[in-house]
């Protein structure tokens, strides 16, 4: 028997996939109708977390944040079976994951943070990525069950909270990546280019292949052999901003990046590779 607390878009599809595999699942959600709807696929819905977890050895969570995880787990505590394993797929803080691991062990249970790079479709299809770190004996014990839920498990060693940190930096990249695409779309519009024009550029030139080489260059520590001087990159950034201003298109990221470049130029790095802007983060 498994329990699933939090049956929004991601959680509900995890449950549907479990039911397809013939697993018994008890569910709860703050909005009761979302849990009740899963009875159509054979899950059993409960009105409170404590009843939902009774008899379950594995208790899965997909909730909003640290506060909601703490609140729901406390509400479920009286129903937890001795030695039950709590598997939390919520994106939370690193400190929160560390604290819950310690606290729930002291209470006689196991807490394993297992954040995911998975959308609802991934949850239904058991694809995507699940991140794990911490007690390697515990992970080894539950990994066969977790493997059924995802396409690939990424293990980051025995450091508690490291999976939470890796999830956060991954999400930060996705946020910046999406905001960068938004900025590119705004500039394209300002320059009279269509989405089709932009798409055709990226069909021919895939900047995604630059990620690992750029990361290595930015973290190597030597910026004195430039492929693109900071001063020249700043000049081009000025052209981006000027083009947008001429048609009153608001840019969000590029003015901030220009200011960051200016600060490094003022420090005397104008002739260095422009990736020197990452020097203080390495």
Q: Active-site residue numbers?
A: 167
How far apart CA 61 and CA 4 sit, in angstroms, is 6
* Residue with token string 């490291």: 162
Strand order in the sheet with 129-132: 116-117, 129-132, 152-155
* Residue with token string 């479709």: 121
How far apart CA 126 and CA 275 sit, in angstroms, is 38
CB 242 within 8 A of CB 202: no
CB 113 within 8 A of CB 163: yes
Nearest CA among 208, 187, 209 for reference residue 197: 187
């Amino acid at each position: 028997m498994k329990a699933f607390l939090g049956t929004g878009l991601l959680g509900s599809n995890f449950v549907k996939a479990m039911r397809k595999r013939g697993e018994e699942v008890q569910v709860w959600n703050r909005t009761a109708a979302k849990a009740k709807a899963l009875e159509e696929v054979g899950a059993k819905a409960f009105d409170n977390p404590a009843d939902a977890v009774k008899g379950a050895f594995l208790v899965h969570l997909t909730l909003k944040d640290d506060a909601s995880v703490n609140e729901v787990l406390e509400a479920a505590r009286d129903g937890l079976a001795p030695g039950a394993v709590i598997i939390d797929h919520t994106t939370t803080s690193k400190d929160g994951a560390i604290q819950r691991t310690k606290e729930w062990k002291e209470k006689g249970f196991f807490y394993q943070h297992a954040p995911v790079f998975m959308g609802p479709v991934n949850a239904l299809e058991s694809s995507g990525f699940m991140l794990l770190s911490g007690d390697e004996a515990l992970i080894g014990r539950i990994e066969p069950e977790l493997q059924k839920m995802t396409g690939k498990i990424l293990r980051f060693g025995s450091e508690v909270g490291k999976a939470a940190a890796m999830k956060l930096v991954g999400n930060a990249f996705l946020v910046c990546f999406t905001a960068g695409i938004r900025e590119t779309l705004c500039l394209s519009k300002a320059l009279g280019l269509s989405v089709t024009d932009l798409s055709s550029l990226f069909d021919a030139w895939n900047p995604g292949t630059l990620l690992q080489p750029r990361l290595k260059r930015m973290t190597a520590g030597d910026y004195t052999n430039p492929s693109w001087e900071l001063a020249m990159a700043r000049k081009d950034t000025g052209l981006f901003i000027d083009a947008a201003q001429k048609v009153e298109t608001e840019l969000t990221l590029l003015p901030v990046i220009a200011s960051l470049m200016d600060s490094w130029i003022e420090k005397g790095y104008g002739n260095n590779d422009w990736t020197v802007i990452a020097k203080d983060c390495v």
